[in-house]
Amino acid sequence: MIAEALEKQLRLALPNEKEVDNAVQRLQLGAEYVQDAMTAFINDSILLGVDVGNQEINVFYGEEKALDDIDLGGVAGDAIGWVTERVQTLMQELNQTSRETLTKMITQWKDNNLPFSELIATLEKAGWGFDPRRAKMIAVTEATRAFNKGKLMMAAASTLTVHKRWITRGDERVCPICAKLGTMRFRVGEGISLGADFEHPGGTGAAAQFAGELFMQPPAHPNCGCKIRLVALGLAVPFTGTGPYN
């Protein structure tokens, strides 16, 4: 969805060689498509997080007790409000990156006196341009952010005392930042309080440089696929394996 939107934005900005000098300004013509794509999948991700958070709380105390004081409609409304603000911030960041990338590539294209087709090909394969790799990075990172935000919002709406833990993918893709966050030790049914940050414990090798850094929730970096696990005093819910990226 994002890949298609970025491609459409590029085609609208650069329909032909005559529009090269206006391309940066013309990026705005496709911004709506990118924003709509962002809003749709981030909405889906945060509402999935709300739903999974609800399921995990139900496992703790049983459905009727857990839901007695939770306004599910209110949580969903707050989640959508968060999405609106997040998309606005994200679009500002993406538009800035797109403008910088396009300006740089056009300058290089002019300096080398290359055919127009080469400019388009370069933009489509540039690591931070209008290519599928950039789209995938945005999707993974923002889905992780929204999914975990939804779980935390659901937990905060409950009257239960709920803590959180950092859960990694548990495979070879786990980075030095998240590996240590995911191996923090707690007593049964305990973790970090919902409103507190995870403080990176540092470690040896590459992990040492992150000692003391604070993270409220995943993602800790681009392409992060970690999740929050909810825990309650004296109880622990098994990881459901449910989420946008497993």
Which residues have CB under 8 Å from 168's CB, separation 6+?
174, 178, 179, 181, 182, 226
Alpha-carbon distances, residue 97 vs 76, 83, 86 (angstroms): 31, 21, 17
Q: Is the pLDDT of residue 243 over 50?
A: no
For 44-69, how does the pLDDT look when each residue is reduced to its tens digit (9 = 90+)?
Answer: 999 999 999 988 888 776 655 555 56
For 204-228, how does the pLDDT look when each residue is reduced to its tens digit (9 = 90+)?
Answer: 888 899 999 999 999 999 999 999 9
In 145-245, DSSP assigns E strands to 162-167, 192-193, 198-199, 214-215, 227-232, 235-236
Q: Is the pLDDT of residue 244 over 50?
A: no
According to the 3-state scheme, what is the secondary structure of 81-138?
Answer: HHHHHHHHHHHHHHHHHHHHHHHHHHHHHHHHCCCHHHHHHHHHHCCCCCCHHHHHHH
Q: Considering the entire predicted model, what is its pTM?
A: 0.86
Maximum alpha-carbon separation in the chain: 70
For 139-173, how does the pLDDT look when each residue is reduced to its tens digit (9 = 90+)?
Answer: 999 999 999 999 999 988 887 778 999 999 877 77
| Span 184-208, average pLDDT | 87
